[in-house]
Chains A and B, each alone.
Chain A
């Protein structure tokens, strides 16, 4: 529940926490406690977090499966890259432009697919992602075709490796925090409740006066915008683009991240996206077997953890601090909690509970 008294507390704590994490990560990178490679991975993870969160907005919160997010990323990436290379636009403008262009695509797909749900929507969005790729291959004068676009200038070029790495990381991290704030604040508002009610039961939702079509398109468009910005960052991060970077398997990966993290959990998505980025790199030695390992891991996780890492709950720092203050974590409390937990587990085992 939201109330005025907690407002300052919440904003202060969250700003403080994200700044502290940010500064720590910067220091670690600056003094090479974490290698340049790890720094790169962290930055890439940030981009994955942004795109996964945007997907969570429609899949987790609105309850619609989209397999077109690599396509959205692709639109954003190319728009941003072209804006920078061909028109010399500054990075922030190019990123926003990428977002807007992708949002237009989102709107164009969102409206006609309104009536579709489940598998049908998934297949349509999958098709969209592939169409985007084909278009980009064939628009060679603008996009460089299958060969791709090269020479996208990076965030900074100071000549100092570490400074460049830190600036690159800062760009992604700050935008990621903004995206988290936007989605969190939207979801925890009347508009957000309307969006979630669609996932829960769309007939009940419309019967309670929620304009379901409007909110579906709204979520879709906003999601596309954010994915487009993520795509723009991706383009600048790698410095080159080609259509193969946005195959449908990437869309599937984002769905995997959202499902693993827990549909409708922001913190779950963040954790899953970071873990996923690392796994993807570590498993590179297995080459194509990587996919088999991923598939198996996914099946096993879904059997034992069907609601994903977090379900639809959130890890809450402010909530945690409040609990600390209220003595919730006194040794005695923890002991009773632990006992309750063990009892619950025990009951689950003999299959009589629930």
Chain B
């Protein structure tokens, strides 16, 4: 019996057409991400890291090839099917947090739950649990502008995990944070991977990140050079 996979990419190509110009980012890329993996993706700027995350998360489309999640094709889903799939399976964490400035921390975390059929009480319990997990229970009523970058990023993590998705896709989650705050955030991601079994994919420029991950993929000119991180 083979390992269960979160993601399998089969001969994925991605091109951007701008006027007469065609930019090829990936050409026949293969990638397996087993369930429960914690993988760092590094590479020079413009190598396609964000594009890869977008493809995995179904917010951008492959030009050709297949993407499977839990052995099911996701590249063939319609927009509305993808929305539902994302809501159920994927949490996103961005470099600049991307919280709603008009909502409090708790309300931001609650957003994904509005798409579920959970009642108010259950939603409140889940929000409290998620905020507790990132250590921000006392900040529930604060607005993003009242919080530090590290705190905002922890709220963003709480929002990404509140509906208990299998996968976390993180695009330079520590890119805007100082060393110790970055380590805190990475600690939370590590906890989510080890204690909660989440599959975590982290795009980063920060070599320190690789000390926490199970493995690191180096993306260069659309191709992976795999190196396993030292424990």
- Same assembly: no
